[in-house]
C-alpha cells in the first residue's frame, strides 16, 4: 500500500472516531428536542410545525442508518451493511427514505410560506392544518412505495452494498440520485423568491425587520442545503459511473475518502438543524427555555416527593 493510501486511511479512521461520534450524539439530541419543541409548545398550533416534526424524524433515520453504521465500522472494523443481504437492502431503503423525506418536508415548508403570504385569498385558504397533515401523510406513503425499488435493486457486490451493475438499475439510480438532490434545491429557490416578493409587495409586510428575518432564515436554509447535500449527490453519481472501473489501491482509498467527506456534510446538516433554528429564531429559543423550565419543575417535584417518602 502506498504512502497516500495509508495517510488517507488514517484520516478516515480519525474522522469517523472523533468527528462522527459527536455529530451523531448532537444530531440525535437535536432532532428529538426539535420534535418536543414543535409538538409541546405553543408552536404546535403553527401549520409548519407538523412539517418540522416529520423532518426531524426523517433526519433521525439518516443519522441512525447512515452515521451510526459508519461509526460501527470505524470502531470495530465490521461492516454490518455487507453482513447480510437483508441488512444491505433495508438499511439502504430506510437511509435513502430519510434523506428524501427530510428534503421533501423542507420543500413543503417553503411552499406553505408562499401560500400564507400570497395576496390571493384562494391560495391562502389552501394552507390549513388539515391540508398540512393530509399532504404529509399522502406524500410520505407515496415516497415509501416509490422507493421500494431500493429493496429490489440493491445487493452485495465486491464486498459492498450497491446497485446492481448488471441491469439498467444502475443508470436509473444515478438519475434518481441527481433528481432527488437538484429538484428540492430548485423548488426551495423558486418558492423562497416568491415568498419574499409576496411580503415585499403585499399588505402582509408590517415591519421591515419581519422581512429581513424571513429572508435570512430562507437564505440560510438554502445555503446549508447546497453545502451539505450537493457534494454527496455528485459523488454518488461519480461512484455509480465508475463502479465497474479497474482502480488502483490509491484510487479506491481516495474514493472512500471522498465518500466519507461528502457523507459527513450530510450528517452534519441533519445534526445542526436544531442549533440553526435556535440561532435564527427568537421564538424557538424562548420555547426551548420554556420547555426546559417545565422539565426542571417536574424533576424538582419528583425529587421532593421521593424525599418525603
Mean pLDDT score of the chain: 81
Full DSSP string of 171-190: HHHHHHHHHHHHHHHHHHHH
What the block records as the C-alpha cell of 282 is 427568537
Query: Is 70's pLDDT higher than 50?
Result: yes
The DSSP code for 254 is H
Tell which wins on pLDDT, 241 or 186: 186
Identify whether the C-beta of residue 276 lies closer than 8 Å to the C-beta of residue 253. no
Query: Is 184's pLDDT higher than 90?
Result: no
What the block records as the C-alpha cell of 293 is 423550565
Query: Is 218's pLDDT higher than 60?
Result: no
pLDDT in tens, 26-35: 999 999 988 8
Tell which wins on pLDDT, 212 or 238: 238
pLDDT of residue 210: 42
pLDDT of residue 208: 47
CA trace torsion 291, 295, 301, 302 (10° rounding): 160
Query: Quick one: average pLDDT of 151-160?
Result: 85
Query: Is 57's pLDDT higher than 90?
Result: yes
For the chain, the first-to-last Cα distance in angstroms comes to 66
Helices within the chain (DSSP H only): 3-15, 21-40, 47-62, 68-76, 85-116, 121-125, 129-146, 149-153, 169-201, 208-241, 249-280, 282-308
pLDDT of residue 183: 87
Identify whether the C-beta of residue 33 lies closer than 8 Å to the C-beta of residue 290. no
What the block records as the C-alpha cell of 97 is 427514505
Domains and CATH numbers, the chain: 3-273 (1.20.1070.10)
Largest CA distance in the chain: 72
C-alpha torsion sign, points 89, 93, 96, 98: negative
- The label of the residue with cell 421500494 reads 148
Query: Is 226's pLDDT higher than 90?
Result: no
Amino acid at each position: 500500500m502506498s504512502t497516500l493510501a495509508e495517510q488517507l486511511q488514517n484520516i478516515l479512521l480519525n474522522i469517523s472516531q472523533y468527528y462522527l461520534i459527536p455529530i451523531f450524539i448532537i444530531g440525535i439530541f437535536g432532532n428529538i428536542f426539535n420534535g418536543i419543541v414543535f409538538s409541546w409548545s405553543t408552536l404546535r398550533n403553527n401549520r409548519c410545525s407538523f412539517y418540522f416534526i416529520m423532518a426531524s424524524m426523517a433526519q433521525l433515520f439518516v443519522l441512525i442508518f447512515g452515521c451510526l453504521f459508519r461509526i460501527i465500522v470505524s470502531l470495530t472494523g465490521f461492516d454490518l451493511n455487507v453482513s447480510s443481504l437483508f441488512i444491505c437492502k433495508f438499511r439502504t431503503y430506510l437511509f435513502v427514505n430519510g434523506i428524501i423525506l427530510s428534503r421533501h418536508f423542507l420543500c413543503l415548508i417553503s411552499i406553505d410560506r408562499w401560500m400564507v403570504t400570497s395576496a390571493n385569498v384562494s391560495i391562502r385558504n389552501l394552507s390549513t392544518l388539515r391540508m398540512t397533515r393530509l399532504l404529509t401523510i399522502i406524500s410520505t406513503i407515496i415516497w415509501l412505495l416509490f422507493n421500494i425499488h431500493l429493496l429490489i435493486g440493491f445487493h452485495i457486490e465486491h464486498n459492498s452494498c450497491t446497485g446492481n451493475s448488471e441491469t439498467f438499475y444502475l443508470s436509473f439510480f444515478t438519475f434518481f440520485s441527481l433528481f432527488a438532490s437538484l429538484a428540492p434545491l430548485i423548488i426551495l429557490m423558486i418558492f423562497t423568491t416568491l415568498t419574499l416578493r409576496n411580503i415585499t409587495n403585499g399588505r402582509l409586510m408590517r415591519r421591515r425587520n419581519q422581512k429581513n428575518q424571513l429572508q435570512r432564515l430562507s437564505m440560510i436554509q438554502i445555503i446549508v442545503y447546497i453545502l451539505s447535500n450537493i457534494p454527496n449527490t455528485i459523488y454518488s453519481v461519480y461512484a455509480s459511473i465508475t463502479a465497474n472501473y479497474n482502480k488502483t489501491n490509491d484510487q479506491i482509498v481516495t474514493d472512500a475518502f471522498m465518500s466519507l467527506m461528502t457523507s459527513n456534510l450530510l450528517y452534519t446538516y441533519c445534526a445542526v438543524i436544531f442549533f440553526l433554528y435556535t440561532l435564527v429564531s427568537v421564538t424557538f429559543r424562548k420555547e426551548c427555555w420554556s420547555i426546559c423550565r417545565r422539565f426542571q419543575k417536574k424533576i424538582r417535584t419528583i425529587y421532593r416527593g421521593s424525599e418525603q417518602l
